[in-house]
Amino acid sequence: METPLDIYSIIGFFGTACIIGAYAYLTYVDEPNPYIVHGTNLTGAGLLTISLLVHTNWPSLVLEGFWAAIAVFGLVKALRGRTMRDTNGG
C-alpha cells in the first residue's frame, strides 16, 4: 500500500497530535481545563476530517464526527457551567 505523504496527510498528523495531546493533558493534569481538552479535541477532529475527506476511510470519518460532536457538547457544558457560576457570584 502506497499512500502519498501529501499536505492532507500532514494535516491529519497534526490532528492526531492534537487528540493525543488532549488525552495526555487530561491524564497528567490534576484539574484539567475543559476548554483546553474539548477545544483541542475539536481542533484535532476537524484536522483529521480534512485529511479523511481526501483519503477517505469511512469508519474513521464517522468516528471523527462523533469525536467533534462530543467535544462541542463538552465546550457547551463548560460554557454553561461558567455562566451559572458568574450568575451566582461564584
pTM of the model: 0.88
Let me know if 22 is exposed, middle or buried by CB neighbors in 10 A (0-12, 13-18, 19+): buried
All 3 cell numbers of residue 9? 496527510
Counting Cα atoms < 13 Å in the Cβ hemisphere of 33 gives 4
Cα-Cα-Cα-Cα dihedral sign, residues 13, 19, 20, 24: positive
Q: Yes or no: say if 12 and 60 are a contact pair by the CB < 8 Å rule.
A: no
Using one digit for the tens of pLDDT, what is the confidence trace for 11-48?
999 999 999 999 999 999 999 999 999 999 999 999 99
Q: Higher confidence at residue 67 or residue 83?
A: 67
pLDDT at 87: 76
